[in-house]
Structure 1
Amino acid sequence: MSKTASGWERYGSRISGGWRGFVGYFEGVMGADAYRRYLEHQQRTHPDAEPLGERAFWRDHMDWQDKNPQGRCC
């Protein structure tokens, strides 16, 4: 028995890796990763401050977008 991955395992690994990359890219384009990026920023720059909860973050984010319209499709 060989300890190397079979052709199908390598192929499946490439597909799943490609899919994860596509999903990550799509979330970035759509802004779905904004809360995760906010948490990372808060942890780096203000580790002692309590971050907003996800619901409060999105409410604040949407209010900011309404007050500061930028070029977007919707």
Structure 2
Amino acid sequence: MNLEAAIVTISILCLAAAIYLAMLSTQIIDMQFRTRLVNWAVLCLIGGTAILACWLISQTIKRAIEKEESNKNSIF
């Protein structure tokens, strides 16, 4: 498994955990435990989104660098 696939997999797992925790929190009666589950769901959602956003930004930078290098090579 390459690094990109691992990053996307971790991001998807974080998003899936956020959905699961949010659904589970609707079935809990104890208010403090429900609040903790919702907090964890929000953190998983933010974490998964941040991981995916960082990966997309790195891919954009990588493609821009490759494009610039190919333009330099075509001049010479």
* TM-score exceeds 0.5: no
With normalisation by structure 1, the TM-score equals 0.40
Highest RCO, 1 vs 2 (Cα 8 Å, sep ≥ 6)? 2
